[in-house]
């Protein structure tokens, strides 16, 4: 299983998978999946951004139907996030290969190199690069946690596959993915289409006060950056709750300096992220947050810097593809329905360029980005079956 090629869990739960982009674990995972792809009748290679691509020509020389998801994980992540969509794509190709069925369209299966954004701080980086969502001159200079630029990481990355190109002409993009939350699992239903992928707004904030002696500085004389950060964290929570579900707000990363128990914190760096499926509400959350931070600065005597918001609008999935998925769900004997995605996915970047859709399967207990991530194999298989059926329906419709 792909999880065996997961890299070291950095000090976290040893059960977690930590497969970072352009790491040895990523290279090994590419070699393993490329082997499965070749057995499934796909010719394989890697594009210039480290995306693994397997392609099977169709009967015509028309555009490709692309199946995919991502190969990377968060630190100590689960075994299904990303991997399920890649492996299911290979399984669809294998089923077609074994049945001798040649589609009208070419079939491509893609394992995107970097979706989590953990290394370079940009979510869905590899699919943004390949779809032109980030100018090459900007992406090449992104610097990763290991200090190397993306260009340096790519130059050093050698999984041992020939260079190939991402399909230029695509009829559709489909991605099978776990829901990563509790909503589907709680609904008791199993295999919906995704209606819309949430919008995401992220920024980095610096709060600066004055570091001072923790024993001799009276409480009335302090400009404690961490106390201000506490106000900001609670404001993120309050704004998201006031916006109402499915809006969410998170401070996921925070660093304190100088970071000693006997020093009043002088500086705090923290991340802020809001998500909701309404683009206007997302922008209101950002504006509200800026006002809150300004108020905290005044109340606590802190200076502050708010980075530019990396704002991605919600992305609706293609109606026609959703209809094909609904028919495939019906053919699988299930009640078709659609639901929004609270997680971001590579499909966000493909959707502006080709009709795109996603199929969800439940995350048991709603866990994801965690070693507790789990999807029952029956649900995973049902999702792969719906994916395969959707491919056939789209292939027939698009002849």
Interacting residues toward ligand HGY by CB under 6 A:
115-116, 123, 343-344
Nearer to ligand HGY by Cβ, of 116 and 269: the residue is: 116
Closest-CB residue for ligand HGY?
Answer: 343
User: Which distant-in-sequence residues (6+ apart) come within 8 Å of 260 by Cβ?
Assistant: none
- Choose the one of Mn ion, ligand HGY, none that binds residue 179, judging by a C-beta under 5 to 8 angstroms depending on kind: none
What is the distance between the alpha carbons of residues 89 and 134, in angstroms, rounded to a whole number? 26
Task: State the binding string over 355-374 for Mn ion (x if CB under 5 A, else -).
Answer: --------------------
Binding status of residue 6 toward Mn ion by CB under 5 A: no
User: Which distant-in-sequence residues (6+ apart) come within 8 Å of 230 by Cβ?
Assistant: none
Shortest Cβ 155–ligand HGY spacing (Å): 25
Binding status of residue 82 toward Mn ion by CB under 5 A: yes
Nearer to Mn ion by Cβ, of 81 and 208: the residue is: 81
- Choose the one of Mn ion, ligand HGY, none that binds residue 82, judging by a C-beta under 5 to 8 angstroms depending on kind: Mn ion
Q: What is the per-residue DSSP string for 7-28?
A: ---SSS-TTSB---TTSHHHHH
- Choose the one of ligand HGY, Mn ion, none that binds residue 344, judging by a C-beta under 5 to 8 angstroms depending on kind: ligand HGY
Shortest Cβ 74–ligand HGY spacing (Å): 7
Q: What is the per-residue DSSP string for 155-222?
A: HH---S--B----SSEEEEEEEEE--SSHHHHHT---PEEEEEPEEEEEEEEEE---EETTTS-GGG-
CB 54 within 8 A of CB 90: yes
Shortest Cβ 108–Mn ion spacing (Å): 19
Q: What is the per-residue DSSP string for 211-240?
A: -EETTTS-GGG---HHHHHHHHHHHHHHHH
- Choose the one of Mn ion, ligand HGY, none that binds residue 395, judging by a C-beta under 5 to 8 angstroms depending on kind: none
Shortest Cβ 203–ligand HGY spacing (Å): 15
Which residues are at the interface with Mn ion (CB under 5 A)?
A: 81-82
């Amino acid at each position: 299983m792909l999880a065996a090629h997961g890299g070291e869990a950095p000090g976290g739960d040893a059960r977690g998978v930590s497969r970072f982009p352009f790491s040895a674990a990523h290279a090994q995972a590419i070699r393993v999946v490329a082997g499965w792809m070749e057995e499934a009748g796909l010719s394989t290679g890697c594009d210039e951004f480290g995306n693994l691509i397997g392609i099977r020509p169709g009967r015509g020389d028309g555009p490709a139907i692309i199946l995919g998801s991502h190969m990377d994980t968060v630190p100590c992540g689960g075994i299904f996030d990303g991997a399920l969509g890649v492996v299911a794509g290979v399984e669809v190709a294998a089923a077609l290969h074994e049945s001798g069925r040649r589609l009208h369209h070419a079939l491509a299966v893609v394992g995107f190199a970097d979706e989590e954004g953990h290394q370079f701080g940009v979510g869905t980086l590899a699919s943004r690069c390949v779809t032109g969502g980030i100018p090459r001159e900007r992406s090449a200079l992104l610097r990763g946690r290991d200090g190397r630029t993306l260009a340096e990481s790519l130059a050093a990355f050698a999984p041992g596959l020939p260079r190939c190109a991402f399909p230029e002409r695509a009829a559709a993009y489909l991605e099978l993915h776990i829901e990563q939350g509790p909503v589907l699992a709680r609904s008791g239903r199993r295999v919906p289409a995704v209606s819309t992928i949430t919008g995401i707004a992220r920024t980095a904030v610096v709060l600066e006060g004055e570091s001072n002696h923790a024993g001799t500085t009276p409480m009335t004389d302090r400009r404690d950056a961490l106390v201000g950060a506490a106000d900001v964290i609670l404001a993120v929570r309050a704004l998201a709750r006031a916006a109402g579900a499915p809006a969410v707000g998170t401070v996921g990363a925070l660093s304190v300096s100088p970071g000693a128990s006997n020093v009043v914190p002088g500086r705090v760096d923290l991340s802020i992220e809001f998500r909701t499926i309404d683009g206007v509400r997302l922008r209101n959350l950002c504006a509200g947050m800026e006002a809150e931070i300004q108020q905290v600065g005044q109340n606590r005597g802190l200076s502050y810097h708010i980075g530019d918001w990396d704002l991605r609008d919600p992305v609706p999935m293609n109606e026609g593809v959703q209809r094909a998925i609904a028919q495939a769900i019906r053919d699988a004997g299930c009640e078709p329905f659609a639901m929004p995605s609270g997680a971001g996915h590579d499909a966000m970047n493909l959707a502006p360029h080709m009709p795109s859709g996603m199929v969800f399967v439940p995350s048991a207990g709603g866990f994801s980005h965690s070693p507790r991530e789990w999807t029952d194999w029956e649900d995973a298989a049902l999702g792969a079956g719906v994916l395969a059926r959707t491919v056939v329906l789209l292939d027939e419709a698009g002849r």
